Amino acid sequence: MSNSIRNLKIFLLFSKYSIKSLLQERLGIVLFTLGKIIRFAMFFFFIYILVAKTSTLKGYTTNQVIIFYLSFNLVDTLSQLLFREVYRFRELVVTGELDGVLIKPYHPFLRVLVGGVDFLDAILLGPYIALTVYFISISTGITLTSLFTYILLLMNALAITVGFHIAVLALGIVTTNVDHSIMIYRDVTSLGRFPIEIYREPLRWIFTFLLPVGIMMSFPSQSLFGLLSIQGIISAFVVSTGFITCSLFFWRYALRKYQSWGG
């Protein structure tokens, strides 16, 4: 318990420094937030027009497709809020500053994974949650059980994003390249804006179990609509556990290969 409290204090300290650094560029805050809002609104409008013209998308109604999109934004925004420091990891590797991180008396993930919380994304998280609650409230056939499962699978989705970001960190140590891999991750996860059923096999299987985008983005909404079996729910947690385990093994492998600055 004392170790957890200590880690929480370190996390809050890093978050405090991140906020101070962020507030030094107030114009950038306004432009960044405005760009995010415009991007969200345009894609929201695109989805609404697309589904409204066809009535359904793979059997899903307009409200249901919108919930898929909002669920994607919840997971994506939370991951960017928590793991923004991953985007700056390459500099630590190429300058040798990672050496200093690794010898600190706390787990390096506190610095390289969650050490730069981006509170700009927190600004948008509130509206995303409000919109999600609204569209869920006007949808039919939703029970307390399905809502509870939906929340659990959203948490499971966030756990999978942890695995993805740890894998990117490990790849950054091995190749000293983070920018391309994190952008590939963003492009792959963006496939989850729509229900995974729109993709043909074997792509659907690949993006569900090999690169678990479907489990991250589609399974929560499917459970909300009562379309996910017990076996599907169990498999989601099994896959996420296996994915995080593999990512941690990759991280340990990368550390063994790390030769330090100038090595």
Sign of CA dihedral 8, 120, 222, 130: positive
Domain assignment present for residue 263? The answer is no
| Domain boundaries, position 205 | 2-257
Residues 6+ apart with CB under 8 A from 12: none
Classify residue 33 by burial, with Cβ atoms within 10 Å: 0-12, 13-18, 19+.
middle
Model-level pTM? 0.88
Neighbours of 99 (CB within 10 A): 15
Domain assignment present for residue 262? The answer is no
pLDDT score, position 179: 80
pLDDT score, position 95: 85
What's the structural domain count of the chain?
Answer: 1
- The pLDDT tens digits along the chain (263 residues) read 678 888 888 888 888 877 777 667 666 667 767 777 787 787 777 677 766 666 667 778 888 888 999 999 999 999 989 998 998 898 888 888 899 899 888 899 999 999 888 887 788 888 889 999 999 999 888 999 999 999 999 999 999 999 999 999 999 999 888 888 888 898 889 888 888 888 888 888 888 888 899 999 999 999 999 999 999 999 999 999 999 999 999 999 999 988 775 44
Neighbours of 109 (CB within 10 A): 20
Domain assignment present for residue 185? The answer is yes
Distance CA 23, CA 119 (A): 10
Phi-psi category of 141—alpha, beta or left, where left has phi over 0 and alpha has psi -120 to 50? left
Domain assignment present for residue 146? The answer is yes
pLDDT score, position 62: 84
